[in-house]
Amino acid sequence: MPDLIAQGSAPEHRWRRKLAADQTYVLGRDSGFWSAPWDKRISRQHAEIGWRNDQLEVRRLPAARNPIFVRGREQDRFAIGPGEHFVIGETTFSLTAEDIRISLEMPQPAAEQTFSADQLKQLRFRNADQRIDVLSRMPEIISGAASDEELWVRLTNVLLCGIPNGLAAALVAVEGEGDTSTVRVLYWDRRQSSERLFQPSAKLIRQAMRSGQSVIHVWNEADRGMGGGGASDGDWAFCCPVPGKACRGWAIYVAGRWSTEPSGPAGIAVASLQEDLKFAELVATTLSSLREVRLLERNQASLRPFFSPVVLEALAEHDPDEVLVPREAQVSVLFCDLRGFARRSEQAAGDLHGLLRRVSDALGVTTRHILQTGGVVGDFHGDAAMGFWGWPFEQPDAVARACRAALSIRAEFAAAALRSDHPLADFRLGIGIATGTAVAGKIGTVDQVKVTVFGPVVNLASRLEGMTKLLRAPILLDAATAAVVRTQLPPGQARVRRVAVVKPYGCDVPLEVSELLPPAVEQPELRDQDIAMYEAALESLLAKDWQRAFQLLHQVTAEDRVKDFLTVFIAERNRTPPDAWDGVIPLASK
């Protein structure tokens, strides 16, 4: 198949694209792989082209602002053959049937030399200004490539711009080892179109890849025209491997001709090519670095569903083994459980995929707010999610982050509940937050591991979440978390109230439980006076003055469901504390 070559007004404004039979493409300034973004006279989508019946059919699109010229005339629809061209704006589009084939039959070079990277580093450029000008623009030119194919195009343009006597350049990939290895051309281009077949030397490429060093071949005058790679595209060629794992097996191949006949033996000619070879090796190193960065970005993108951003950040900056090794850390742990899941499961028994999608959306609310506040999603337990703060980096404001996440989750579900048609309208939630020392990192067995957190504080957060149903509070905190909230979060961001001292079901140690509340402006039905009245009632309860506690609870707004827990507890015991009352309310269930 022929190639279409686009050439703008600047040498680097160029590409070569392979045409496939019976395929339609769109040329334009913003038309994907076939874009010519350097020419403002080309419309975003200017012309439709296709290779059919051994000719390139071209049709100007209605949206095109400027004309297309072919054979000196303006045309809206035409066909051209190999060797012909058309012009849009300042860009010439040439159709060529020239091709490339790796040559196994090469004339013996008159001179051959291998150069290590250290040797080339010590070499100084004589025309440093010209080389530096091209090199300084190379990162911008190459980094703007959106794909590997576009990267190869730009790389080849850089090589031909920076090596004045280079006639052709190719990026090749070697698969296998030794003389049986396969050389595949990733991309190639010529400075000027030619009917000659470009034939890079397989021997030269394999020699460079086998040694891991750059190699130069120079041919004699008598070898020209013999069909070999060096002979058909000039007097010399060199090949330099591209370093790095991201470009494993890749090499740059450049062939060219002397600007004037070299004087002296072939060895002197080799010496004159060292600067060009050094330039090509710098291009190879830049290509390798850029590919390494892109490979890292792709790896991080593939890991993103499995690691929180804060963990990915740590992995990018430090040794993964050091980051993920289990270690003790001061953390705040949040458990969030969805209510209404069991009922939904029964109703959607015939549409489990739909149910999974809705539950995933609901859990997504939780994970999104965990991640947005710099937390780590540690685990999922059916319809519950767990997140934590304080690892892998120490976070002095871990408690504040966890509480902001909890309040945001609550607010989003509350907003959804106001709309009957919202997918999350029927879901309710309970959140428990606890703070303390835990082991965080890569935890599991030899067969399976996960990045999570382990320790009593995790169990405590889970128990607090379970107690939200009994105490009728959406968000519950342990004493350590509540104490920090009172000092780190002003009332304009969050409020906190002591709810009770309880003994969780199955535990022997009492636990002081507090509720995390949004600021008064977001929950005006529960005033600060109501919170103060409730806490006064709790103090009376603890002091065995149950009659006064009962009276104070009745002065709290009827909108407050948390007060119902204490009110019922006192009423069921005839408003009289037992003789052995120690202020602890035992919970009969989880």
- Summarised one tens digit per residue, pLDDT across range 89-135 is 999 999 998 888 888 777 788 888 888 877 777 777 666 666 666 66
pLDDT of residue 134: 67
The band of 553, judged by pLDDT with boundaries at 50, 70 and 90, is: very high
Residue 223 predicted with pLDDT over 60: no
Write out pLDDT tens, residues 533-551: 999 999 999 999 999 999 9
Please check whether residue 297 is in contact with residue 309, taking contact to mean a CB–CB distance below 8 angstroms: no
Question: CA 466 → CA 282, 461, 555, distances in Å?
Answer: 62, 9, 28
What pLDDT, on the 0 to 100 scale, is given for residue 260?
56
pLDDT-based confidence at 300, cuts 50/70/90?
A: low
* Count of Cβ atoms closer than 10 Å to residue 132 Cβ: 11
Question: Can you read off the two tokens belonging to residue 467?
Answer: 């107690």
User: Which residue in the block uniquely carries the two structure tokens 């070697």?
Assistant: 174
| Predicted confidence (pLDDT) per residue in 403-445, tens digit | 999 999 999 988 888 887 777 777 788 999 999 999 998 887 7
The answer to whether 3-96 and 111-295 have equal CATH topology is no
Radius of gyration of the chain (CA): 36
pTM of the model: 0.57
Residue type present at position 50: G
The candidate with the shortest Cα–Cα distance to 282, out of 412, 425, 155, is 155
Cβ-based burial of 537 (10 A; exposed 0-12, middle 13-18, buried ≥19):
buried
* Half-sphere exposure (Cβ direction) of 173: Cα atoms closer than 13 Å: 10
Residues 6+ apart with CB under 8 A from 71: 84
Q: How far apart are CA 107 and CA 203, in angstroms?
A: 10
Residues above pLDDT 90, as percent of the chain: 54
Strands 511-517 and 475-477: antiparallel
Listed by start position, the domains of the chain span 3-96, 111-295, 315-489, 519-590
Q: What is the pLDDT of residue 265?
A: 47
Which CATH code of 2.160.20.10, 2.40.170.20, 3.90.1150.10, 2.60.200.20 fits the domain covering 3-96?
2.60.200.20
* pLDDT tens profile 475-520: 999 999 999 999 999 999 999 999 999 998 878 889 999 999 999 9
Say what the pLDDT of residue 500 is.
Answer: 95
Domain 315-489 has CATH 3.30.70.1230: yes
CATH 1.10.3720.10 fits 111-295, yes or no: no
**Closest among 212, 220, 267 to 241, alpha carbons compared:** 212
**Which pLDDT does position 557 carry in this prediction?**
94
How confident is the model over 259-277, as a mean pLDDT?
Answer: 64
- Residue 558 or 291, more confident: 558
pLDDT at 483: 96
State both tokens at 403.
């509480």
pLDDT band at 214 (very low <50, low <70, confident <90, very high): very high
Q: Please state the rounded mean pLDDT for residues 182-188.
A: 92
Give the pLDDT of residue 225.
Answer: 44
User: Please, what is the Cα angle at 387 between 386 and 392, to 5 degrees?
Assistant: 140
For 407, the token pair is 């309040």
Determine the pLDDT at residue 445.
77
pLDDT score of 228 = 39
- Condensed to tens digits (0 to 9), the pLDDT of residues 308-347 reads 778 877 777 778 778 888 999 999 999 998 876 555 555 5
Q: Are strands 585-586 and 495-503 parallel, antiparallel or unpaired?
A: parallel
* Average pLDDT for the chain: 86
Tens of pLDDT, residue by residue over 20-66, are: 998 999 999 998 889 999 999 999 999 999 999 999 999 999 999 99
CA atoms lying within 13 Å on the CB side of residue 571:
9
Q: Which of 105-109, 176-180, 207-211 has the highest mean pLDDT?
A: 207-211
